[in-house]
Amino acid sequence: MKTIGIIMNGVTGRMGTRQHLERSLVAIRNQGGIALPDGDRLMPDPILVGRNPEKLRTLAQIYQIDRWSTDVDACLGDPYYEIYFDAQSTVRRAAAISAAIAAGKHIYCEKPTGVNLSEALALYQLAQAKGVKHGVVQDKLFLPGLIKLKSLVDQGFFGRILSVRGEFGYWVWEGDQQPSQRPSWNYRREDGGGITVDMLCHWRYVLDHLFGDIQAVSCLAVRHIPQRWDEEGVPYTATADDAAYATFRLDGDIIVHMNSSWCVRVNRDELLELQVDGTEASAVAGLRHCKMQHRTITPTAIWNPDLPDAHAYSAQWMEVPATGEPENAFKRQWELYLRHVVLDDPFPYDLLEGAKGVQLAELGLLSSERQAWLDVPAIGVASLSGTRS
Looking at the predicted structure, is the pLDDT value of residue 169 above 50? yes
pLDDT for 380 equals 64
In the chain, what are the helix, strand and coil shares in percent, each to the nearest 5?
35, 25, 40
Q: Which domains does the chain have, with CATH numbers?
A: 2-138+329-349 (3.40.50.720), 141-319 (3.30.360.10)
Mean pLDDT throughout 111-135? 97
CA distances from 285 to 148, 243, 281, 311, 359 (A): 8, 21, 13, 21, 26
Looking at the predicted structure, is the pLDDT value of residue 388 above 80? no
The chain-wide mean pLDDT, for the chain, equals 95
pLDDT digits over 351-384, tens only?
999 999 999 999 999 999 999 999 999 986 544 4
Mean pLDDT throughout 86-105? 96
Contacts of 43 (CB under 8 A, 6+ apart): 1, 2, 3, 4, 28, 29, 32, 33, 34
pLDDT for 59 equals 97
Residue 292 DSSP label: E
pLDDT for 243 equals 98
* Of 243, 232, 120, 110, residue with least CA distance to 187: 243
C-alpha–C-alpha distance, residues 143 and 157, integer Å: 20
Q: What percent of the chain has pLDDT over 70?
A: 97
Looking at the predicted structure, is the pLDDT value of residue 218 above 80? yes
pLDDT for 387 equals 38
pLDDT for 322 equals 84
Mean pLDDT throughout 108-131? 97
pLDDT digits over 22-65, tens only?
999 999 999 999 999 999 999 999 999 999 999 999 999 999 99
C-alpha–C-alpha distance, residues 379 and 339, integer Å: 27
Question: Could you tell me which residue, 381 or 282, shows the higher pLDDT?
Answer: 282
Mean pLDDT throughout 172-184? 96
Length of the chain counted residue by residue: 389
pLDDT for 324 equals 79
Mean pLDDT throughout 200-213? 98
